[in-house]
Amino acid sequence: MYVCVCKAVSDRRIRALAAEGRVRSLADLRRETGLGTCCGRCVPCARAVLAEAVRGAPAGPAAPLTAPAAA
Ligand code: FES
């Protein structure tokens, strides 16, 4: 679904950017996509999608890899 109609930014795009570690905040999303820079009606929905996406995304490019637990 489109989160930001003005800039044609979908929830999939937000999730993909978060998974790549490119967005962690609304400011990041604005910089990467322009989301929220026209009418601003998308901001509450974008915050919710981003929060969910960031919770499910890796901590970032510098995140340490963890070894699987020993059996
Ligand atoms: S819907 Fe996002 S700025 Fe208008």
In this predicted model, what pLDDT tens digit does every residue of 22-63 receive, in sequence order? Answer: 999 999 999 999 999 999 999 999 999 999 999 986 655 544
The pLDDT value recorded for residue 62 is: 45
Residue 68 lies in a domain: no
CA distance 35 to 45: 11
The pLDDT value recorded for residue 64 is: 47
- What is the 18 CA–ligand 1 centroid distance (Å)? 19
pTM across the whole model: 0.79
The pLDDT value recorded for residue 59 is: 57
Residue 64 lies in a domain: no
**Using a 6 Å CB cutoff, which residues line ligand 1?**
4-7, 35-42
Q: How many domains does the chain have?
A: 1
For ligand 1, atom 1, the nearest C-alpha belongs to 4
Residue 66 lies in a domain: no
CA distance 69 to 59: 19
Only one residue has tokens 């790549």, namely 20
For ligand 1, atom 4, the nearest C-alpha belongs to 39
Domain of 17? 2-56
Residue 63 lies in a domain: no
